[in-house]
Structure 1
C-alpha cells in the first residue's frame, strides 16, 4: 500500500509548508488566528509535526520573522548608495528607504502590529533583530559626518523613525492616519512634512 503524500514529504519540505502556512495565516487573519491547530490545518499536516519541528507556534513565528528580516535586508541593499556630506540628507534617505522597505514587507508590518498589542520575549527579540537590520544598513552607508554637540540627534532620530513606522502601519491597515489619506498625494504631503521636520538636523 502506497504511503500518504504527507508521510512521503521530507522534513525540510514539511517545515517549509508549515512556515508558508504561518505566513498566509498571519497576512490573512492576523496574529490571533495563528496557533498550532490552524498551522497544521493550513499546511495539511499533523499537529504533532508543528511541535516536533518547531516546538510549537513560537518556533514558526521565529522562522517567519527571519524570512521577513531577510526581505528587509534585500530591499535595503537594492537602494544605490548616495554620497552626501549632509547629516540631514543622510537622515532623509535613511528614513524614506526604511519606509519603502517596510511598505514592501507586509509580514514585517504584521509582526510590528503584533508587538504593539502583546509583549513576550520572542516579540521583543524580533523587534530587536528588525532594528538591527536598519542599524547595520545605516552603519555601512553612513558617511563620516560629525554629529553636532547641541541638540539630541539620537532622540530626534527615534521620534522620526517611530513616525515613519506608524505611517507604514497605518497605510497597511487603514490607508490613512490622523486625517491624512495615504494615497499618492498623501505620501507626497507626508514626505514634504518630513523635510520640514528634518531642518532640526544640520545641513
Structure 2
C-alpha cells in the first residue's frame, strides 16, 4: 500500500486525495487498472472509505474528467486569438491548437483512449463534454466567414479531428506513429503535413 495521502477528519482533503490517487492509477496503469481496490491502495486507505465518499469508481472518473476538461479549456483560452483570413486558415489553427492541448493533458488522453476501446454511458458523456470544450472555443474564435455550398465540412472535420487525436494518443503511448517520431521535430513535420492536407478544405 502506498503512503497515505489522506488527512484525518478533513472531508474535502480526503476526497481530493482519493481523486488524486485515481489519477495516479489511471496515468500509471491505464483504465484497465482503475478500480476501487487500486484507488484505495494508491491513497493508502481501506476501500470502504472510497465507497463512503464516492459510492464507486465511476464518480472518481467523473471528477477526473472534469479536471481534464478544465485543463483543456485553460490551455485553449491561453492561446492568443488569430485573425484568420479564411476558413482553411482557421481550420489549421484549430487543429494544431487542439493537438497541442491534448498533448499537454495526459489525463485527457487516457480518458480518450478508454472511450476508443470501450463504450458506456459514462464514456459517451465524457466524450460529449470534451467535445463541448473544443466547440465552445471554436464558436468564440471562428471568423465570420461563410461556408462554401456543396461542401461536407462536418465529414472533413471528422476525418481531420480523428487524425489529430490519434496522433496525440500515439505521442503519449508509443512516442511515434508510422515511422515518425513524435518529438518536437516530428510534431513540426506533422504540422506541415496537416497544412498540406488542408488543401482539401473549402475556401
CA distance in 1, matches of 2:130, 2:99: 13
Q: Which runs of 5+ in 1 are unaligned?
A: none
Q: What is the correspondence of 1:184-203 to structure 2 with a 5 Å cutoff?
A: 184-203=184-203
CA distance in 2, matches of 1:198, 1:76: 21
Once the two structures are overlaid, the 10-residue window that deviates more, 125-134 or 173-182, is 173-182
Aligned to 1:83: 83
Change (3 A) 1:137 1:6: closer
What is the CA distance between 1:49 and its match in structure 2? 2.1
2:18–2:39 CA contact under 8 A, matched in 1: yes
RMSD of the alignment, in Å? Answer: 1.4
Aligned to 1:129: 129
Offset from partner CA, 1:129-171 (integer Å, 9 cap, x none): 0000000000111111100002211110110010000000011
Q: What is the correspondence of 1:130-149 to structure 2 with a 5 Å cutoff?
A: 130-149=130-149
Aligned to 2:118: 118
Structure 1 stretches of 4+ moved >3 Å: none
Aligned to 2:176: 176
CA distance in 2, matches of 1:14, 1:28: 21
2:6–2:13 CA contact under 8 A, matched in 1: no
SS of 1:128's equivalent in the other structure is helix
Q: Which runs of 5+ in 2 are unaligned?
A: none
Aligned to 2:70: 70
What is the CA distance between 1:7 and its match in structure 2? 7.4
